Amino acid sequence: MIFTVEETNLMCCFDTSSRSKLISEMKKLPSKELDSGIAELICKTVRKLENITDAEFDAQYIAPDSMMDD
């Protein structure tokens, strides 16, 4: 899996219909107003998203951890 559980849960808070929409929404957040841990997680996740292809993104199953099978 490319993304951690924390990154996947974070992405679920945004529009995941496309990689570009997800990146755009995440970058719009005012990082200076966010908790430093959350801001770091967002930056790390955006970097990962920018470094994968649309096909790789589409192959990911993005659902909150609570919806994943054990």
pLDDT at res. 63:
80
In a domain, 23, yes or no: yes
34-53 pLDDT, tens digit per residue, is 999 999 999 999 999 999 99
67 belongs to a structural domain: no
What is the CB neighbour count within 10 angstroms for residue 22? 19
Residue 47 domain-assigned?
yes
Question: Side chain identity at 56, as an amino acid letter?
Answer: E
Residue 40: which domain range?
5-59
Q: pTM of the entire structure?
A: 0.84
Task: Answer yes or no: is 68 within a domain.
Answer: no
Tell me how many domains the chain contains: 1
pLDDT, one tens digit per residue, over 1-33 is 689 999 999 999 999 999 999 999 999 999 889
Please check whether residue 28 lies inside any domain of the structure: yes
Q: What gap in Å lies between CA 46 and CA 11, rounded to an integer?
A: 10
Residue 53 lies in a domain: yes
